[in-house]
Structure 1
Amino acid sequence: MWRSLASNALTLFVVLLVLAGGVVMWGKRQYTTSGPLESAICLRVEPGSNMTRLSGELAASGAISNPTLFRLGADYTDKAHLLKAGSFLVQPGASMEEIVDIVTRGGRSTCGTELNFRIGVTRAEVMIRELDPETSRYVEVLAFDPADEKAPDEYQRYRGLDDLRYRITLAEGVTSWQVIEELKSADFLSGEVSLLPAEGSLAPDSYEVAEGDDRAELIAEMQARQADTLDRLWATRREGLPLASKQEALTLASIVEKETGIAEERPLVASVFINRLRQGIRLQTDPTVIYGLTQGKAPLGRGIRQSELRRQTPYNTYVIDGLPPTPIANPGSASIAAVLDPARSEYLFFVADGTGGHAFAETLAEHNRNVARWRQIEAERGAQ
Structure 2
Amino acid sequence: MSFISSVCIAVALVAAVGFFAYQTVMTPAGKGTAEVLFDIEPGDTLPRISAALEEQQLIRSARLFQYYVKFKGLGGQLKVGEYALTQSMTPDQIISVLISGRSVARKITFAEGLNVFDLVQIFEKNEIGTREEFFKLVYDKEFIRSLLGEELPSLEGYLYPETYQITKFESTRALLTQMVRRFLQVWQLEIEPVAKNSGWTRNQIVTFASIVEKETGAAFERPLVSSVFHNRIHKKMRLQTDPTVLYGMAMKQGKMPNNITRNDLLTPTPYNSYTNAGLPPTPIANPGKDALLATLRPAKTNYIFFVSKNDGTHVFSETLQQHNQAVRDFQLNPKARENRSWRDLNQQPHQLNNKINK
TM-score, shorter chain, exceeding 0.5: yes
Map of 1:33 onto structure 2:
none
Counterpart selection for 1:178 from 118, 138, 151: 118
Tell me the equivalent position of 2:150. none
Q: Return the structure number with greater strand share.
A: 1
1:373 aligns with 2:329: yes
| Candidates 134, 137, 154, aligned match of 1:195 | 137
Change (3 A) 1:86 1:368: farther
Deviations 1:264-289 (A, max 9, x none): 01111011111111221111111101
The alpha carbon displacement at 1:188 in A equals 6.6
The answer to whether the aligner puts 1:256 opposite 2:212 as a matched pair is yes
Once the two structures are superposed, what CA deviation does each residue of 1:354-381 show, in whole Å capped at 9, x if it has no partner? 3221000111111111111122334663
Task: Kindly state the Cα deviation for residue 231 of structure 1 after the two structures are TM-superposed.
Answer: 3.2
Unpaired runs of 5+ residues, structure 2, are 1-31, 37-82, 87-96, 139-153, 339-343, 346-358
User: How far apart, in 2, do the equivalents of 1:265 and 1:172 lie?
Assistant: 14
Residue 338 (1) aligns with residue 294 (2): yes
Counterpart secondary structure, 1:184: helix
The answer on whether the counterparts of 1:233 and 1:336 sit within 8 Å (CA) in structure 2 is no
CA distance in 2, matches of 1:305, 1:264: 29
Task: Write out per-residue CA displacement over residues 1-54 of structure 1, whole angstroms, 9 at most, x where no aligned residue.
Answer: xxxxxxxxxxxxxxxxxxxxxxxxxxxxxxxxxxxxxxxxxxx95469xxxxxx
- Alpha carbons 2:248, 2:271 under 8 Å: kept: yes
Determine the C-alpha separation between the residues in 1 that align with 2:313 and 2:289.
20
Gaps of 5+ in 1: 1-43, 49-83, 88-106, 108-161
Residues 227, 376 of structure 1: CA spacing in aligned structure 2 closer, same or farther, 3 A cutoff? same
Q: What's the Cα RMSD here?
A: 3.3
How many residue pairs get matched? 232
Quote the residue 1:72 is aligned against.
none
Aligned to 2:108: 168
Structure with bigger RCO (C-alpha 8 Å, 6+ apart): 2
CA contact (8 A) 1:233 1:340 kept: no
TM-score (norm 1): 0.54
Q: Is the 8 A contact 2:248 2:269 kept in 1?
A: yes
Cα deviation, 1:178-218, whole Å, max 9, x if unaligned, reads 32343133237799544225211100000012222222111
Q: In the alignment, which of 186, 191, 196 is matched to residue 229 of structure 1? A: 186
Aligned to 1:305: 261
Amino acid corresponding to residue 354 of structure 1 in structure 2? N
Residues 249 and 256, structure 2, Cα contact 8 Å, conserved in 1: no
* Counterpart check, 1:269 vs 2:225: yes
Q: Provide the C-alpha distance between the structure 2 equivalents of 1:327 and 1:279, rounded to a whole number of angstroms.
A: 22
Distance 2:232 2:248 in 1: 21
Residues 113, 214 of structure 2: 8 Å contact kept? yes
Q: How does 1:25-64 map to 2 (within 5 A)?
A: 46=34
Counterpart AA for 2:280: P
- Distance in 2, Cα, partners of 1:188 & 1:269: 35
- Paired letter, 1:201: Y
Distance 2:103 2:35 in 1: 9
| Counterpart residue identity of residue 291, structure 1 | Y
Q: How does 1:2-151 map to 2 (within 5 A)?
A: 46=34
Cα distance in 1, alignment partners of residues 244 and 328 from structure 2 = 23
Give the TM-score, by structure 2 length: 0.57
Is 1:210 the counterpart of 2:167 in the alignment? yes
Contact 2:117 2:256 in 1 (8 A): no
Query: How many Å apart are 1:261 and its aligned residue?
Result: 2.4
| Change in CA separation of 1:312 and 1:259 when aligned onto 2, cut-off 3 Å | same
- Contact kept, 8 Å, 2:160 with 2:182, in 1: the verdict is yes
Identical aligned residues as a percent? 36
